[in-house]
Amino acid sequence: MTDLVALGINHTGAAVDLRERLAVSDDERSALLEALEHEAQLREAMVVSTCNRVEIYGVSDDPKGSGSAALEVLARTKSVPSTELRQAAFVRESFDAARHIFRVASSLESIVIGEPQILGQVKAGYQHAKDHGRVGPVLDRCLSLAFKGAKRVRTETEIARGGASVPSVAVDLATSIFGELSDSAVLVVGAGEMAQAAAVHLRAAGVPEVVVVNRSVERGQALAREVQGRFEPWDRLEAELARADVVISSTGSRLPIIDRAMLKPVMSKRRQRPLFLVDIAVPRDVASDVTRVNHVFLYNVDDLQSIVHDNLRSRQGEARRAEALVDEEVQGFVTWMRSRAVGPLIGSLQGRARGIVDAEVARALAKLPDLDPAGRKVVKKLGAAIAQKLMHAPMAAVRQGANGPVKGRDGADLADALSILFALDEPDPAAQAKARARAQSAKDQATAEPASAKAAEPS
């Protein structure tokens, strides 16, 4: 039966090193989606790739098999050993997959519970897949309800109180080390969504001037204007590193932009003044070897966990409320999925019943050649009425099971039992008999045609 599957890696089981190696760029998404369709047999698929997760959501006739195959596709695409990926990865199916997707969209699976960026990132992955024809009815319904659930979480709870996010936690970390930032020189590298959020939080924390360095002059200048800061072009990066106390970096670079070789001359100019680097990009902007340079202190997204735990403790009550809201929306999706599966099942059951009735009525009427038309009509109605009454209770139970348990029995179990008891997955004997009869009739007609043609020839 067609069902949902969610798989991949995230910050709960994979270190930043693996996450950055598996990060999927916009240019890679289309090819990956195509491979997932043809090699992992995913009828529908989308990819979510952020600093904290690389996840695939899909629909398959064999969720377990497709989930395993999709991990192999991801590993090969990113040149990561499949054994290494499997050790850190998860695969969830059906209800568990739906619940995971809803929780991700609502930020309940984020490093910082309540952070706002993840919803936009999930929407971007969904829209990309939709634009490339990879979203069908199941993912469309699932993500639509997940977005609805995320909106309810943000409007009906205070989980997002204070606008918590990875950038805000990075600023909190800087504040905890330096105290007031009003006397600190602060540099933001990058001008994307995460860098923008960091710059806004820095300004709110009292930083008098935020310096922005970015490759795109237009975007960098726009961010500098937004926070009443100063823009410097990319070739001024080393010079700004030499004067900064705090650096928060988040660019889209696939390789580190700050490394030990760059910082050695920079630090010699600083005369033992410490440099505090917070790298919130994945793939990472700052190479890990910079910590070998004296007076350089580096933090990445995984190092923010202690602050995050404090954040979570203060929001546990709101998180529980949010989880209850998400579970309500998940149940709505599960009910829809079950209802969607019940229709074909009931159609198969009705078809099987009609086939049996028609065959038995035809057999009975063949033994009653003298029965008048009125009597034949009564026999046919009798057969149909018996079939309808016998099928009413099981069909009603399965329909009710789509909305929840029936007398303690899960709706999916009832549907499976019905399919087994009435052999709905096996060929219909009546249909097979009709097919054989049609084939024989066609054969007889084909045999008769040459003889007829021969008789019609002139002597």
Q: Using one digit for the tens of pLDDT, what is the confidence trace for 395-452? A: 777 777 666 676 777 666 767 777 777 777 665 555 555 555 555 565 566 666 555 5
Q: Per-residue pLDDT for 216 more than 60?
A: yes
Q: Which CATH superfamily is domain 166-313 in?
A: NAD(P)-binding Rossmann-like Domain (3.40.50.720)
Cβ atoms < 10 Å from Cβ of 353: 20
What is residue 54's predicted lDDT score, i.e. its pLDDT? 97
Q: Per-residue pLDDT for 71 more than 90?
A: yes
What is residue 150's predicted lDDT score, i.e. its pLDDT? 94
Instruction: Share the mean pLDDT of the chain.
Output: 86
For the stretch 164-190, pLDDT in tens is 678 888 888 888 877 778 888 999 999
What is residue 459's predicted lDDT score, i.e. its pLDDT? 44
Share of the chain above pLDDT 70, in %: 85
Q: Per-residue pLDDT for 37 more than 80?
A: yes
Residues making up the chain, counted from first to last: 459
The CA R_g of the chain, rounded to the nearest whole Å, is: 32
What is residue 439's predicted lDDT score, i.e. its pLDDT? 57
142 annotated active-site:
no
- Banded pLDDT at 314 (limits 50, 70, 90): low
Pairing relation of β-strands 296-300 and 275-279?
A: parallel
Least reliable range by pLDDT among 292-306, 328-342, 369-383, 409-423 = 409-423
3-161 to CATH, choices 2.40.420.20, 3.30.420.40, 3.40.50.2000, 3.30.460.30 = 3.30.460.30
Share of the chain above pLDDT 90, in %: 54
pTM of the model: 0.71
For the stretch 114-161, pLDDT in tens is 888 899 999 999 999 999 999 999 999 999 999 999 999 989 988 766
Mean per-residue pLDDT, 244-249: 94
For the stretch 368-400, pLDDT in tens is 888 898 988 988 888 888 888 887 887 777 777
36, 47, 51, 159: the catalytic one is 51
Parse the chain into domains and list their residue ranges: 3-161, 166-313, 331-426
CA quadruple 16, 20, 23, 26: dihedral sign: positive
- Banded pLDDT at 458 (limits 50, 70, 90): low
120 phi and psi angles, rounded to 5 deg: -65, -35
Angle at the Cα of 425 (from 440 to 381), degrees rounded to 5?
65
